[in-house]
Structures are given as structure tokens and as C-alpha cells.
Structure 1
Amino acid sequence: MPTYRRKAALLALSVVSVATALTGAGAPLARAAPGAPASSLEWKPCARPGGPAAQECAELPVPLDYADPDGPRITLAVSRLRSDRPAARRGTLLVIPGGPGGSGVQRLTQKGNALSRELAGAYDIVALDPRGVGGSTKASCGLDPADRWLVTLRSWAGPDGETAENAARARRIADACAREGGPVLRSFTTANEVRDIDRFRQALGERKLSAWGVSYGTYVGAVYAQTYPHRTDRWVLDSSGDPDPRRLARGWLANMSQGADDRFPDFAAWAADPARDAEGLRLAEHPEQVEPLLLELAARLDREPKESDVAGTPLTGNGLRQTLQNALYGDALFPGLARLVRAAQDPAARPTLPPELARPLPDTDAAVMVGVICNDVRWPQGAAGYEEAVAADRAAHPLTAGMPVNVTPCSFWKDRPREEPTRITDRGPSNILMIQNLRDPSTPYSGALKMRRALGDRARLVTVDHGGHGVYLAGTNTCGDRAVTHYLTTGTRPHQDTYCAP
């Protein structure tokens, strides 16, 4: 799967990437590089295609319940890429993936070579798979495959905004997770990921960590910096959401309506550009015609789904809407969306579904996707009020059709959150650099500004005049890349919030 397709599949609060099982023959305890602290982990080679040749993996045991530190334990998959310039090494950089459901080990495979080049040996680069992800201990809800498709796990309403089917499915998922998930599923929380990160720091023998967190990983990073401020060195938050502790994931999801509106003009301009003619992908003569075209096509597919290349899985209106949301994550995904639109318009064509719509998610991925967001904070209970909310949001934001405010399994979750969410504040060292696209479809700029205000003088914000989700090393803005690299390698941030032109 291409890099940008993988990136789109790591949708905040939705799609989870599946890391491959840890590989590599047994090896003795790796020696620490000169200048590096001793590690208590048994590292083994685990290089993967396209990733760093020197990547190593290990398993980290952690308490299932930190309130019972001597009780049952689970294991986390962890990975590292040691500095190849020991004399230049100054510490350890943690890569914190998005999600919930993103794999840190996979993220290190994808970005390790680029990070090593950019940071010139300044860090050992490390990552972990959060609970429930990749090679770490998993939980299962035993969900029916029909409830594990992306377009059903995401609460896309019926053709006229009906939510009864969404509510019934949300209740089924919550009931199944209560029956089958057990203590492991109940342990899937941001607070436990933060504790697991600090346990990883201890196992690495590090006094402090630096970090690069992306998307949901920015919230994990912010909570770590709030909980263990004296353990943070140089901290980068890339594509942040609103940290309001009363709403958390519910607020992040709701904000995607505005995020899609902010970002869509970039796609519309691309799809109406005469340059698309030679590619056969021009959808309209003028940018303002693209949105009505897509809305009309989605409505037609609501009424008459179109047979696709996947037997028994037609392209529906909600399938088209979900593909649009995915495509807004990066410009490199625009051609795929345009090809799908063209095929849907052609009576003789059979659309090729993108991979994330072609099959149900694995049950363990669905479990972690809903587990974290439902365990972190209490959502309004029951189905009342959602139909009205969906109707209002559909009218205000037609591109997302009410999905961001629709009912989820969290409204029927059996277990109340066991801890109060962490409030992000300005108390702590001034060592955080935020970087944010102006037109982010998943974590819109308006939400990032709330994270910036919450952090106060602890942070500086680099605003990048670009669209898409994820900034650093995305290949879209050298000014933004320079600002992050300069901070991580020299410790110097901009004196004040700054702006990077397109």
C-alpha cells in the first residue's frame, strides 16, 4: 500500500493500521552504543521491506493495571533505530503514532530512514505499539463482520439522515465489547499509554525523552508532558486537536466537519485544473462546481449503489463520502478519489474500491479503535438527540453528512471511565514545538489553537499554509521541516509563533 494510502488509513478515531508480527531470529542482549545508556530490553533484528536495515525490536512487559503493579502483565512491542553517529548522539527520540490504533513500530519502519537523515545521528529513535495494536497484547470484541466495515464503524447516517440503524449497531458493538473485551480492553486508555511510555523510558535507561507525536499522538504527548514534565526534553506536537477534557474524542470527531470544509477547496481547485485533462481526471470546469457534483453523485449512490470490483460490496454514497474524507489527508490521494468519481459516473465502469473499503477491519483493530475513545471520557448516554444533531450538521456541513456528530458505541458503553481526563495546562517547562497545517481535515486549525492556548508559554506554534494531515517529513513544506529539525537538533525554537508560506 503506498505511503499516502497508509497515512489516510490512519484516520484519527477511525482506521487502524495493522502492524506485522515481530520478526527476526533470537539475538543476545544488544550492547548500547557509545554514549547511550544501558537498556534492559532484549533487542533483536527486525528489518522490514522499505524500512531501516538496522531496525531492532523487543518486548516490554508492563502491568495490565498500574493500580496493581504486581498483578497480571501484558507485553508491548517496541522498536528502535540506534544512532549511527555515536559522537553526535544527544538522547532518545520517541515516535508517538496517531489513531487511536496507530502502530509506533510500523511508523518507525516508515519514517526511520528519513528521521535518521534529517537528525544526523542526534538520537536513538524508538517507538512502541500501544496496547491492542500490532505486536502488543490485543483484545477482541467478537464483532460480526458486518459491524466492522469502515463505513459502518464510522457512523454515516442513512440517505435522509436516519440514525436508527447507527444506534442499533452502536448498541450491539458496546454490548459485544462488554461481553468479550475483558480487563485488557478496559485497560485501553490514553492514561495507560502514557504510563507505558514512561515504563519504556525506564527500560531504555533514559532520564528524559524527546518526542514527535502526530495526530492523536499529540494528545498522548501532551498528557505525558503534563504528567511527567521533568522527563521531557524536546517535544514536538504535529497536527494537534482540541484538548478539552470534557469532550476529547467526541470533540475531535465533531471538529472533522469543519476540517473537511477547510480542506475541500484544495481538492476542488485540483480537480478543476485544466492540467487534469491530460490525465482524464478533470471533474469540472470551475472549482465551485466540484462540491455539488460530489454531493449529487453521493445522493445517487445512496439510491442506487454501483457494483464494484469487490463481489457483494457495491460503492455506496457513504463509501464515496468516506473515500473523500480519506483523500483529504494528502494531495497524493487526490487522483485516486478522482478516478473513483469517474468510474462511478460511467454507466459501463465498475469502480475499484480503495483497500480500506474493500474488506472488514480485523476484530482486534475495531476493539482498540472504540476502546480508547470510550474508556477515556464519558459520552452522552443513549440515542436521544442524535437525529437532530445529524440533521443540523448535515445542513451546515454537507460534505460530512452528519457523521462527525452521530451516535457511537461510546453512548452505550458499559464501563464508566476509571480516571478523570488530564487537563493540559501551561504549567511545565517551555520545551514544546507545535506544527500545524492551516487546512487539516482531521485536526482542524481551530482545534490546534485551543491546544496552543492551553499550553501557554510552554509552546511555540509553527503554522504551515498547506492542506492535509501531518506536517513534518510529509514532503509538503521545507520551512516547516526546517523548523522542527532545527529544534530537535539544536534545541532552539522560534522566539514566537511563526508562519510558513506555501
Structure 2
Amino acid sequence: MTSSPHVRARRVTLAALSAVTVAATLAAVAPALPSHAAPATAPAGPASLDWRPCPVAGGPGGQECADLPVPLDHADPEGPRITIAVTRVASEDPSRRRGTLLVVPGGPGGSGVKRLTGTAQALRAQLGDAYDLVAFDPRGVGGSSRAGCGIAAEDRHLVTLRSWPAADGSVTGNAARSRRIAEACRSNGGALVRSFSTANEVRDLEHLRLALGEDRLSVWGTSYGAYVTAVYAQKYPRRTDRVVLDSTGDPDPAKVARGWLADMAPAAALRFPDFAAWAADPAREEDGLRTARRPEDVEPLFLALAERLDRQPRRSATPGVPLTGARLRQALQNALYDDDLFPGMARLLLDAQDPGATPVLPGDLAGPLPDEDAAVTVATICNDVAWPRPVAAYARAVAEDRRRHPLTDGMPVNVVPCAFWKTPPADAPIRITDEGPSNILMIQNRRDPATPHFGALAMREALGDRARLVTVDRGGHGVYLNNGNACGDSAVTAFLTGGRRPAHDIRCEDRPVRP
């Protein structure tokens, strides 16, 4: 579920997707923030935040930043400490302020600092001065303490971190690459890489609450960040005020990470018809982007083109990085997150078929991820839960999934570095239950390609009367202040500002797809 932050450019959010565990990528942190490459030893004690101005071009006025020291190992609070980068846009009217709203990013690997920088103005327009708006970069991300694994550059491309099988369906190459990545993290990652986990992010979040001096926090978590928020609300239920879970996956401990990734195959199939209808609409003629005459022709066209590129990759506008079948499939997965990415996907499909064109790869597919970004996305899911080891089982799963869900070609069930991870998880995944205050509002797109609606229904069932669910009848990933649906936005805003939660689960109708 986890987020793939480089993949898109949102209107009011950052370019951070939130949901493909092993493939999440990281948007760059705001330049005003320092990067702390190694843990620093400091005495344990009450944390404090020394706020300083950190204006960002195009960002909100009055933005401040601070560094929060937290234990590298929470079981050893007197031991080495690392730094968590925090940012704040404070309420300008103390008489209207009711508390702090914490914005938790997707990922693993998403930057909360970057996310708040991109959303603060829209949040302030919705919420007024009801909250100090606060976010943080999880350990390993952005301006927080970071560490790499020394993963080879050729293994850090999005299409190699995500295990797209070979053209014939073989997973042998994926297994060899996954083993290399796991070994690199074992040999070079150190204690900080071993500490990247949901459990530690939740512990760091509680340290942040204490440093903010808040008895309770309101929280808006998106995608993987929604899971982090749900775990926090389960572990510290009396420390939560109003909680919004935006775009959630199945919280069943047996489904964490591995199940989220596998769910993307049926999710993409449910979302693809939105793109097909858009790409075949006669309105695309004006922009030269009409891909097919009928919506039902788009999928076979795409599949045939991907298979042709498997056999004969096309030279792209990026030297040394060809357009392969895997890159075309990955471009589609990225584009399904947001209707605004449909034009770029249509152009790529058309150029890939034109012998006289040179296809331009999306930016996130044109080169390798930085080593630190790859390390945190891989290590978090591998430290969270044990994955099956037999490669033969992955090969069988890929063969079946390719047959059932050809758009994703078996990638979501393929072998990943976690199959070769040597360090067992330090914490078992927490079980989300209905024990706790009834202060949670969930919001979900019906056709989400990353955190599908059926996964959100599992979260809703687990929470019982603690939650209400707002379903928005549209596609894409991320809902609040993200897709222009007034019904969904107003439900969340009313809850955050006035505590008004629907008496029962509700459905918001979609507005027409943007041209």
C-alpha cells in the first residue's frame, strides 16, 4: 500500500503516492531542511522542539521547522539518538485553535514535510485556524536521519525494485536481484536501516506528541500513513482526538505489506476502465490523444504493445534507458493513481507505436532512485513482517496472477528482497480492533488502484463502531482535498472542524471525469 512518492504531480498534495510497498519512491524534501546522515548520541530526557523559520518557495507563509531527537532503539532510551525532521504551520488565531492536526504521509518513504508544504494552504482554507498543522519525515526519509544499503544503481530503478517478471514469466532474475538487495542491506545498512518499521514510526509519533505538549492529537493519514495512523490509534487510543484514515488497506496482520502489494492486481483491473473510457473518448481527438475508437479496445492494445516491447524495447529520450514492456506497465500503474496523469500515459502509448517518435519516459522511470530512498522503502516492509522464502512458490503465484490479471503481469505477487531478509521482525504487526473511542472517519475512492475499496472495507469491519466510512464513487488514490469531490471533502472538513461524523457509512457520487 505503501506509497510511491515520485510518481505524480498533484494539484494540492505532494508528488507522493502512497501505496506500493516495495516500490514506493520518495519526493525530495524541502531544501530548507538539513539531512542527518548518522545517529547522534544524546542523553535521554524530555524532548523539546526549537522552531525556526523555514520558508519554501510556493509554500505556506509562516512555515517553521524543528529537529526532534528520538531513540534509535526505543528499547534502549538511554542509547544513541537519531533526528526526526518536523514542520509546522501554526494557527494564526489562538482563540480559534482547538489543537494540532498531524499530517502523516504515505509510503513507506513519503515525506510528511513535503506533504504539508504542498497541502497547508488548502488545509488552512478548509479548516481555518482550528489547528496547528504539523508533519514529520519518518526516520530514513528527507530531513530525518537517513541511511543507505549500498544497493547497486541498476537494482534501484523503479522497474527493478518492483519485481516485474521476465517476458516469459520467469522469476529467476527477480530472485537473484532480491537476494542482492537483501544482502546489501544486511552488510551495509547498520542499526538505522534495521530500525525502519511501522512500529518505530508509531513510537516516534508518540514522542512527537509529547514534544508538542499535546494531550491528544488529531491525525490525517493517507495510504500507508493511514495504516500508521490506525496503529497509533490502536496503541494510544486515548491520545487521539479526531482521526481521518484516507485510502486504507486491509489491516489483517497476515495481509500487512505482502497482502497490500498483492491486492494491487485486482485493484488495477477495477481502475483501468476509467482510463480506457478517457482514452477512447472522441474529446481526445482535439489534443491528439485518442488511443482507440472504443474503450474495450484499449486493454488489448496496451497488452499487445507491452508484449512487443518485451521482445523489442524502444529507444527512449533518456540515453541508455529504453522503453521496455516493464516500463510501459509501470507507467500505467503510476498513471492510474490520478486522472491528471492520463494524458501523459496516452501520449506514451501513441509514441510507442509510432516508428518516427521517440517516447519520453516519465521522470520516475528515467533513472535509479537514490540509495537512501530505496533502502527505507525496502527495509520498512521487510522489518515489519516475515515473508515466505521458497522461490518456487512465488513462481507459481506469478504464473496464476499473470493469467488472472494481465495488466500487472504477476508483479504484485512476485519475489521481493524480504524473502531473503536475515533479521526477523522485532515487532509483530498489531491487530486493529473495535476497542477504543469512536473518533475515526475513513474516506475512500471506490476504484483505488493502490489501496482498493475491498481492503478499506476490511479496515472498516475491524474498527467496528469506532469508525464511519465515506466512499467516493470515483477512481484514483487519495481523496481528501485531492480529487475535487465536494461531498467527500465536506464530510472530512465537518468532522475535523466540528466533530460532526456521519451517523452511518455514506456514499458520495462522482462528478464527471476531468477533460
TM-score, normalised by the number of residues in structure 1: 0.96
Q: 1:415 aligns with which of 423, 433, 448?
A: 423
Q: 2:28 aligns with which of 19, 22, 44?
A: 19
Report if aligned partners of 1:452, 1:459 keep a CA contact under 8 Å in 2.
Answer: yes
Partner SS state of residue 294, structure 1: helix
Partner SS state of residue 86, structure 1: coil
**1:143 equivalent in alignment to 2:178:** no
Partner SS state of residue 3, structure 1: coil
Q: 2: distance between equivalents of 1:67 and 1:167?
A: 34
Q: Which residue does the alignment assign to 1:425?
A: 433
Q: 2: distance between equivalents of 1:452 and 1:172?
A: 38
Report if aligned partners of 2:271, 2:449 keep a CA contact under 8 Å in 1.
Answer: yes
Q: 1: distance between equivalents of 2:482 and 2:30?
A: 26
What pairs up with 1:58-69 in 2 under 5 angstroms? 58-69=66-77
Structure 1: which amino acid aligns with 2:28? A
Structure 1: which amino acid aligns with 2:319? A
Report if aligned partners of 1:22, 1:77 keep a CA contact under 8 Å in 2.
Answer: no
Q: 1: distance between equivalents of 2:16 and 2:91?
A: 29
Q: Which residue does the alignment assign to 1:33?
A: none
Query: Aligned-residue CA RMSD in angstroms?
Result: 1.5
1:387 Cα deviation (Å)? 1.1
Structure 2: which amino acid aligns with 1:233? D
Report if aligned partners of 2:28, 2:142 keep a CA contact under 8 Å in 1.
Answer: yes
1:6 Cα deviation (Å)? 5.4
Report if aligned partners of 2:33, 2:143 keep a CA contact under 8 Å in 1.
Answer: no
Q: 1: distance between equivalents of 2:134 and 2:20?
A: 22
What pairs up with 1:42-191 in 2 under 5 angstroms? 42-191=50-199
User: What do the CA deviations read for 1:161-188 (whole angstroms, capped 9, x no partner)?
Assistant: 1100000000000001000111101110
Q: Which residue does the alignment assign to 1:499?
A: 507
1:47 Cα deviation (Å)? 1.5
Q: Which residue does the alignment assign to 2:494?
A: 486
Q: 1: distance between equivalents of 2:282 and 2:457?
A: 36
Q: Which residue does the alignment assign to 2:385?
A: 377
Q: 2:15 aligns with which of 7, 11, 23?
A: 7
May I ask how many residue pairs the two structures share in their alignment? Answer: 490
Q: 2: distance between equivalents of 1:394 and 1:18?
A: 30
Report if aligned partners of 1:24, 1:44 keep a CA contact under 8 Å in 2.
Answer: no
Q: 1:395 aligns with which of 393, 397, 403?
A: 403
Q: 1: distance between equivalents of 2:205 and 2:342?
A: 36
Structure 2: which amino acid aligns with 1:411? A
**1:230 equivalent in alignment to 2:209:** no
Partner SS state of residue 233, structure 1: strand
Which sections of structure 2, spanning at least 5 residues, go unmatched? Answer: 1-7, 35-45, 511-515
1:80 Cα deviation (Å)? 0.4
Structure 2: which amino acid aligns with 1:336? G
Structure 2: which amino acid aligns with 1:154? R
Q: 2: distance between equivalents of 1:199 and 1:387?
A: 43
Q: Which residue does the alignment assign to 1:476?
A: 484
Q: 1:249 aligns with which of 257, 261, 276?
A: 257
User: What do the CA deviations read for 1:240-276 (whole angstroms, capped 9, x no partner)?
Assistant: 0000112300000000001101100100000000000
User: What do the CA deviations read for 1:306-354 (whole angstroms, capped 9, x no partner)?
Assistant: 0001111100000000000000000000000001111101001101110
Q: 2: distance between equivalents of 1:307 and 1:8?
A: 28
**1:312 equivalent in alignment to 2:320:** yes
Q: 2: distance between equivalents of 1:464 and 1:21?
A: 31
Q: 1:284 aligns with which of 292, 295, 316?
A: 292
Q: Which residue does the alignment assign to 2:446?
A: 438
Q: 1: distance between equivalents of 2:226 and 2:400?
A: 30
Partner SS state of residue 15, structure 2: helix
1:9 Cα deviation (Å)? 5.2
Q: 1: distance between equivalents of 2:274 and 2:95?
A: 44
Q: 2: distance between equivalents of 1:381 and 1:444?
A: 26
Report if aligned partners of 1:8, 1:329 keep a CA contact under 8 Å in 2.
Answer: no
Structure 1: which amino acid aligns with 2:397? A
Structure 1: which amino acid aligns with 2:26? S
Q: 2: distance between equivalents of 1:94 and 1:24?
A: 19
Identity of aligned residues (%): 63
Q: 1: distance between equivalents of 2:505 and 2:360?
A: 44
